[in-house]
A = this chain, B = another copy of it.
């Protein structure tokens, strides 16, 4: 009588398989008591897979992925020095292709400074905000080109594409999330004084959607000013909504001030549920420490919490978050030399 929960698992490259092993451990444990039958299907994709097969993301794999309820993703990418792999190929032809093909228009990235975690900021204050990054438009659309490449007359362009459809749905999502949070505040980050056309679309859309949420306040920051506040007063942020590129930049900075992207989780979410959403740590494949059980699986495990939320198992999601919190509170960053699997074990144990 239990419904099945079909999760596609893409461990990927580098530390991806190690952190995903722990995320799966926690996912299994967290859903034990739930009325669902967890079905996990592994997909081999990434730089290693490309080297072996020449495949980035075959059509059949993409179609197969569509049949799952959600995707748990580790990390992809070759070692920086590996010249066998054209730079950025896996990122574009696989990771970004998934985000675009599955219409992951909400790239959700929560940032919280957990009690006990040292921040590189001298006075971090109370950091607890989410970034709602647009995931299917902006400068990420691959809409550029080059002329006379390699000559002194070369010209290379990159086009940021922004549509009312794309901006509206992500801004509405940000206001909805803000409405559910105690502080109920949305900050639009853009650079509308320079990027006039895109900027005005974003601003007008925020003004328009704001009327649907009378309890939510909103303000605006240029991206350059936002990086200043992220340094001097990050507790001013509640919900940030921004485009694909600005969101990429801000969420890495947000990861840094909250103790490193080893703790930063993310969801690539299709809020219309026309395709499965995908949950992944913000960090990359970190080839330098791969295979050594040195990676912190916390970001992958927190991504499981976002996944559980998305598939409607909010109680299980809260339990995972709480278990992570408990584990983090017991850590001594300076002396914590636990292996990846030991951290996973500890968080799984804290679940019950």
Chain B residues closer than 8 Å to A87, beta-carbon distance? 192-193
Tell me which of A117-125, A287-295, A304-312, A322-330 binds B. Answer: A117-125
A224–B195 CB distance below 8 A? no
Chain A interface size, under 10 / 10 to 19 / 20 to 34 / 35 or more: 35 or more
Asked if residues A144 and B227 are in contact (CB atoms below 8 Å), the reply is no
Query: So how many copies of this chain end up in the complex?
Result: 2
CA–CA, A170 and B283, complex, Å: 31
Interchain CB contact under 8 A, B204 and A227: no
Asked if residues B256 and A156 are in contact (CB atoms below 8 Å), the reply is no
B119, B149, B168, B198: the one contacting A158 at CB < 8 Å is B198
CB contact list, A76-91 vs B, under 8 A: 87-88, 91
A196 within 8 A of B: yes
How near does chain B come to A255, taking the closest CB pair, in angstroms? 7
Please state if A231 and B257 are interface contacts (CB–CB under 8 Å): yes
**Given A159-B159, A227-B256; 11 other pairs, CB 8 A cutoff:** A87-B192, A88-B193, A91-B194, A149-B201, A150-B204, A151-B164, A155-B161, A156-B197, A157-B198, A227-B253, A228-B255
Residues of A participating in the B interface, judged by any CB pair closer than 8 Å: 87-88, 91-92, 96, 118-123, 139-140, 142, 144-146, 148-165, 168, 191-201, 204, 223-225, 227-228, 230-232, 245, 248-253, 255-257, 260-261
